[in-house]
Every structure is written in structure tokens, then in C-alpha cells.
């Protein structure tokens, strides 16, 4: 069965600093991979996705992620964090066998941004 691990429950960074959120997955083949962001009281907004091709994926709001098959990782990065990036971030693995929308999620990383 597929699974996702987000090792960091909570991360605090200063505004303007760089950010990396870690994601490790378990899946039998090449997966669909997603990063979502969730602000308090809101649904999930897709930041970026990997289906195939270039392993460095660009997303919205200045985020990027790199798929590393050898490490089973899909870490999310941003070079300079803004206070509005404070939220919860979820990594997810989509089921390539049926439909990409059917996903297994990690338990999330809460990002706090210090002024």
C-alpha cells in the first residue's frame, strides 16, 4: 500500500529565509505526486504536481519541488518565504493505477513565519 511521510510536524522560518519541506513516499512504481497548502478554515489548494518528465516542478506562489526517485522523495522548496506562506502543507501520492485524484496524504507540516 502506498504511504507518505512528512517528517517535520512543525517548521518555523524567518520571513525572507529559504524553506524546504520534506516528503518521503512509498509506492510500487513511479507515482503521481502533489503538494497542497491549507490555510485555516480553508480547503486544499494545489501548489504543484508531478506526473512525468522533468523532475524539477514549478508551482504557484514561487514554490518548486524536486522528484528524486532514488530517495523516494518529493521535497518542497521556496527561496524566500513571505508571511502569507504561513499555513499547513500536505504532500500526497496519487494512484497512478486508477485516477490521479485518488490520493494518500501525509499528516502535514505546519509552517510558521517569524517577522
Partner 1 sequence: EAGVAQSPRYKIIEKRQSVAFWCNPISGHATLYWYQQILGQGPKLLIQFQNNGVVDDSQLPKDRFSAERLKGVDSTLKIQPAKLEDSAVYLCASSFTDMNTEAFFGQGTRLTVV
With CB under 8 A as the contact rule, the residue among 2, 11, 22, 51 that binds partner 1 is 51
With CB under 8 A as the contact rule, the residue among 8, 15, 24, 49 that binds partner 1 is 49
With CB under 8 A as the contact rule, the residue among 28, 29, 70, 98 that binds partner 1 is 98
* 15 vs 75, beta carbon nearer partner 1: 75
What secondary structure does DSSP assign to the chain, as a single string?
Answer: --EEE---SEEEEETTS-EEE--EEE-SSSPEEEEEEE-TT---EEEEEE-SS-SEEE-GGG-EEEEEGGGTEEEEEESS--GGG-EEEEEEEE-TTS-TTSEEE---EEEEEE-
With CB under 8 A as the contact rule, the residue among 23, 25, 27, 34 that binds partner 1 is 34
Give the binding range for partner 1 (CB under 8 A) out of 13-21, 23-31, 42-50, 73-81: 42-50
For partner 1, the binding residues (CB under 8 A) are 4, 32, 34, 36, 41-46, 49, 51, 90, 92, 94, 96, 98-108
Amino acid at each position: 500500500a502506498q504511504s507518505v511521510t512528512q517528517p517535520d510536524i512543525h517548521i518555523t522560518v524567518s520571513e525572507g529565509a529559504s524553506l524546504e519541506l520534506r516528503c518521503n513516499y512509498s509506492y510500487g512504481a513511479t507515482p503521481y505526486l502533489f503538494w497542497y497548502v491549507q490555510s485555516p478554515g480553508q480547503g486544499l489548494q494545489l501548489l504543484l504536481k508531478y506526473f512525468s518528465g522533468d523532475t524539477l516542478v514549478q508551482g504557484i506562489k514561487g514554490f518548486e519541488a524536486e522528484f528524486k526517485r532514488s530517495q523516494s522523495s518529493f521535497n518542497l522548496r521556496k527561496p524566500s518565504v513571505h508571511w502569507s506562506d504561513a499555513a499547513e502543507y500536505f504532500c500526497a501520492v496519487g494512484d497512478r493505477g486508477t485516477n490521479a485524484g485518488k490520493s494518500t496524504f501525509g499528516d502535514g507540516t505546519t509552517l510558521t513565519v517569524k517577522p
